Amino acid sequence: MTKITITHRLPSGTTFAVTTEGHAESVFVAGRIADPLNAMIGGVYDAMLVPNPRDTERTPWQVLSMKPLSGGPTPLGLVANVLTRGGVWTPEQVNSELGWHDVGVVRGHLLTLFNEGGCSKFELRTSPSTANPTKEWFTCSPHRADVDEWEDRA
């Protein structure tokens, strides 16, 4: 058995995770396995893994069975759950939604999700020489993002 953490979930129920021991590797979890456990982003599970026959390069593992190891989502999972509600979120908005007191921690979790492929990120840069973005927005549904709706927030 291998310890995994759920990183994102598609509306179809298909779920993805990463191994938590050693080098993190991507894991595919079929909806028929994740749904009965009400698998939440950030949840930690003990899983029986086999090589993924469909996409070994991006997602080398597939879950045959799993059981929960923790009582609730991790802080990363709580941030991810906000994004899965839809819409486009700034780190400040996610921080406010969760009632936390450190936007830097929230931004760190959002960047982790982005780097793991769990969400998309939009950046506002005021000039080509700007090293860091003036504003950032994160979303799990970039195809539905409408800049006109949040342009005035910049």
Spans of all domains in the chain: 2-68, 75-153
User: What is the pLDDT, as a whole number, of residue 154?
Assistant: 44
Does residue 60 carry a pLDDT above 50? yes
Given pLDDT bands bounded at 50, 70 and 90, which one contains residue 144? confident
For the entire predicted model, the pTM comes to 0.58
Q: What is the CATH number of domain 75-153?
A: 1.10.10
φ, ψ dihedrals at 139, nearest 5°: -155, 155
SS3 103: helix
CATH T-level assignment (fold) for domain 2-68: OB fold (Dihydrolipoamide Acetyltransferase, E2P) (2.40.50)
Strand partners, 89: 138
Strand partners, 136: 123
Tokens of 60: 């080398």
